[in-house]
C-alpha cells in the first residue's frame, strides 16, 4: 500500500484519530507522528531540544512553537518519513500550520490531506470518561470498548491503570470548548486550501476505518485505489 499524500488527522480528544492514525501507519508502513511522542523522545535522549523542553514540561507549561516546529522539521527529514507519515493531532494553531506547510514544501512533499474527525460532545465525554492510562508504560485502555484483561491492570506490564485528571467528566467539557476555539481557524484554513475532508468519528472503529480509506481514495492519497 502506497501513501501518496502525507496525512494530518485533526479532531478533539476522544474522536478516535489516534486509533485510526496507528492503523493507517501500519497499513501504509509510514510513521505515526505526534508531538507528544517526539517531546518524550527528545527528553529521553537528552537532545538540545529535549533539554529546552524538559523544564517546561515538568512545570506543566506549554512548549513554545519554535521548539515544537524544530522537532517536527527534524523528524520529517528522517528517511522513514520519505514515503509519507500520519500526523496525529498536529498542527494545533495557524502559525504551526503555516510553518508545517513551508517545511513540507521545502522537502518536496505533496499537499497533505487533512482529515477532521468530528464527534458530538455526548460521545466524546462518554469515551474520554472511560479512558484509563497505564501508570508504568502509558498504554491507553477504555472501560467501554477496550478494557484490560484484568480490571485496573495493564495487559503489557501489570501497571496500575489510572484515570488522568484531564479525562474526568467535569474537566472534559472545558477541554473540548478550548480545543474547538483553538482549532476552528485551522479547520477554516484547510477548508480554504481544499485539503480538508470531514469524517464522522462516532461510528465504530471498523466503520470509521472503512470511511477513512474511502476518503483517502477519493482525495488521491491512496496509491492503490486512486
- Among 69-77, 129-137, 143-151, 212-220, the segment contacting Zn ion (CB under 5 A): 129-137
Contacts of 128 (CB under 8 A, 6+ apart): 13, 14, 167, 169, 172
- Among 111-119, 135-143, 196-204, 212-220, the segment contacting Zn ion (CB under 5 A): 135-143
* 64 vs 152 by CB, closer to Zn ion: 152
* 153 vs 191 by CB, closer to Zn ion: 153
Q: CB of residue 130 vs Zn ion: minimum separation in angstroms?
A: 17
Query: Which candidate in 164, 173, 210, 218 is catalytic?
Result: 164
Query: Which candidate in 52, 153, 175, 191 is catalytic?
Result: 175
* 84 vs 159 by CB, closer to Zn ion: 159
Residue 17 annotated among the catalytic residues of the structure: yes
Residue 23 annotated among the catalytic residues of the structure: no
User: How many residues make contact with Zn ion (CB under 5 A)?
Assistant: 8
- The answer to whether 141 touches 160, Cβ cutoff 8 Å, is no
159: contact with Zn ion by CB under 5 A? yes
162: contact with Zn ion by CB under 5 A? no
The pattern of x and - marking residues 137 through 156 that bind Zn ion according to CB under 5 A reads x-x--------------x-x
How far apart CA 14 and CA 165 sit, in angstroms, is 15
134: contact with Zn ion by CB under 5 A? yes
161: contact with Zn ion by CB under 5 A? no
157: contact with Zn ion by CB under 5 A? yes
- The answer to whether 116 touches 11, Cβ cutoff 8 Å, is yes
136: contact with Zn ion by CB under 5 A? yes
* 48 vs 157 by CB, closer to Zn ion: 157
Instruction: Please count the CA atoms within 13 angstroms of the CA of 186 that sit on its side-chain side.
Output: 26
Q: CB of residue 34 vs Zn ion: minimum separation in angstroms?
A: 18
* 92 vs 153 by CB, closer to Zn ion: 153
User: Which of the residues are catalytic?
Assistant: 17, 92, 131, 164, 175
Binding site for Zn ion (CB under 5 A): 134, 136-137, 139, 154, 156-157, 159
Amino acid at each position: 500500500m502506497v501513501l501518496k499524500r502525507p496525512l494530518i488527522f485533526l479532531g478533539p480528544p476522544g474522536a478516535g484519530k489516534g486509533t485510526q492514525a496507528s492503523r493507517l501507519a501500519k497499513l501504509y508502513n509510514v510513521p505515526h507522528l505526534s508531538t507528544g511522542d517526539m517531546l518524550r523522545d527528545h527528553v529521553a535522549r537528552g537532545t538540545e531540544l529535549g533539554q529546552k523542553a524538559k523544564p517546561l514540561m515538568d512545570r506543566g507549561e506549554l512548549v513554545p512553537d519554535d521548539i515544537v516546529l524544530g522537532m517536527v522539521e527534524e523528524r520529517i527529514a528522517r528517511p522513514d518519513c520519505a514515503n509519507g507519515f500520519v500526523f496525529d493531532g498536529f498542527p494545533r494553531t495557524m502559525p504551526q500550520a503555516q510553518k508545517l506547510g513551508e517545511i513540507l514544501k521545502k522537502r518536496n512533499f505533496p499537499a497533505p490531506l487533512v482529515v477532521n474527525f468530528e464527534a458530538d460532545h455526548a460521545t466524546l465525554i462518554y469515551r474520554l470518561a472511560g479512558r484509563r492510562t497505564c501508570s508504568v508504560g502509558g498504554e491507553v485502555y477504555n472501560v467501554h470498548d477496550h478494557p484490560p484483561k484484568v480490571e485496573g491492570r495493564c495487559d503489557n506490564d501489570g501497571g496500575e491503570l489510572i484515570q488522568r485528571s484531564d479525562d474526568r467528566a467535569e474537566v472534559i467539557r472545558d477541554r473540548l470548548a478550548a480545543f474547538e476555539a483553538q482549532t476552528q481557524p485551522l479547520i477554516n484554513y484547510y477548508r480554504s486550501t481544499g485539503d480538508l475532508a470531514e469524517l464522522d468519528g462516532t461510528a465504530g472503529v471498523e466503520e470509521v476505518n472503512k470511511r477513512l480509506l474511502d476518503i483517502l481514495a477519493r482525495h488521491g492519497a491512496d496509491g492503490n485505489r486512486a
